[in-house]
Amino acid sequence: MPAQPAASIRDSAESAGILRPSGEKALLIDGRAAADRLLDELRSEAASLLRDGIKPGLATVLVGEDAASRVYVGSKGKAARACGFHSVQHDLPATTSETDLLALVGQLNEDPAIHGILVQLPLPKAINATRIIEAIAPEKDVDGFSPVNVGRIAIGEIERAFVPCTPAGALLLIEEAAKGLSRHLRGAEALIVGRSNIVGKPMAQLLLQRDATVTVAHSRTTDLATLVGRADILVAAVGRPEMIRGEWVKSGAIVIDVGINRVPRETAPGEAPKTRLVGDVAFAQAVKRAGAITPVPGGVGPMTIGMLMANTLRAAKRLAHR
């Protein structure tokens, strides 16, 4: 897909309401603004359900004291409350047994006030995460990790599935960016770098179902630069800081950087060590070649929480037969 002149890209992108000029050729995909709009819509829908006596309920389960997980879970609970949902957080010690965790999941499966269940990963090593995920009722699996939901996505039954939140949010950003750049996903060459069950594999399925031509690469792919250079749509989700060099990116490509990596920040002599967040793509170079690109932070991350709220609302409507 040839790139449009910068001015026409900017005009059409801003009219889509999701992109803003970056000062370079590329446009920044503003995930925070997109998530805010989504959450506003969900609040309105939740208020409508509440008038009918239905209050979406989300239960989050945190096992252990991992600081990052605690922040993530807290953010999800805060977003749920802001949407008008019933929000319950279960904080369990790291010594919790697999049997006890399974019992809690079973109770939440049976609780009519709970429509969505999220068990924060990773779990302590003594607990088999696969068993826990499989124990969550598919109709309450708002993370989209259960084999039932994974299978529905694989066979194209998206409407019946709960799609994992990060790829679902990334797809919305891709579609809005493509609209802003006056492009189509049909026939576009898409490259997914990363093959995880949480992001890479479902992302590939979603783009296949939009008629893109999809390639999945990973950390052991040979000649990754050539694959990146062909991609009209690049989704980086491999978890390696700036592994994808900016000069590899195809001119005018849509770049979605899912990576969140903490690296040392330059500090003055005698100053305490500090860190900064970077993605899997070398942003400073890529922004000069891409047509549209997500920043890190502020790109895909906010959409992940937004899509979790969307899945919870859908679960409430389904369980209420709406």
> What is the model's pLDDT at position 67?
86
> What is the model's pLDDT at position 264?
87
12 and 106 inside one domain: no
> What is the model's pLDDT at position 19?
54
For residue 287, the one-letter residue type is V
pLDDT at 13 > cutoff 70:
no
Average pLDDT over residues 162-168: 97
> What is the model's pLDDT at position 25?
73
> What is the model's pLDDT at position 8?
32
CA 161/CA 312 separation, integer angstroms: 12
10 and 89 inside one domain: no
Is-catalytic flag, 285? no
Is-catalytic flag, 76? yes
111 and 259 inside one domain: no
Task: Read off the pLDDT band of 1 (50, 70, 90).
Answer: very low
Average per-residue pLDDT for the chain: 91
Average pLDDT over residues 85-98: 96
Q: Which of 25, 120, 179, 201 is catalytic?
A: 120
> What is the model's pLDDT at position 322?
63
Nearest to 146 by CA among 164, 128, 171: 164
Residue 215 in domain: yes
Residue 142 in domain: no
241 neighbors 261 (Cβ within 8 angstroms):
yes
296 and 169 inside one domain: yes
CATH of the domain at 239: 3.40.50.720
Q: Which of 141, 143, 232, 280 is catalytic?
A: 143
211 and 288 inside one domain: yes
Residue 169 in domain: yes
Average pLDDT over residues 175-198: 95
What is the CB neighbour count within 10 angstroms for residue 308? Answer: 27
> What is the model's pLDDT at position 15?
39
CA 258/CA 280 separation, integer angstroms: 7
CATH of the domain at 105: 3.40.50.10860
CA 47/CA 270 separation, integer angstroms: 53
Percent of the chain whose predicted confidence (pLDDT) is above 70: 92
Task: Read off the pLDDT band of 24 (50, 70, 90).
Answer: low
171 and 26 inside one domain: yes
Domain total of the chain: 2
178 and 297 inside one domain: yes
> What is the model's pLDDT at position 274?
85
Is-catalytic flag, 250? no
pLDDT at 12 > cutoff 80:
no
Q: Which of 25, 30, 76, 140 is catalytic?
A: 76
> What is the model's pLDDT at position 17?
46
Strand partners, 119: 61
Range of the domain at 133: 53-137
Average pLDDT over residues 201-216: 97
77 and 19 inside one domain: no
> What is the model's pLDDT at position 209?
95
Residue 282 in domain: yes
Residue 202 in domain: yes
pLDDT in tens, 117-160: 999 999 999 999 999 999 999 999 999 999 999 999 999 999 99
- Per DSSP, the residues of 230-293 read H-SEEEE-S--TT-B-GGGSPTT-EEEE---EEEEEP--TTPPPEEEEE-SB-HHHHTTT-SEE
105 and 182 inside one domain: no
189 neighbors 232 (Cβ within 8 angstroms):
yes
257 and 209 inside one domain: yes
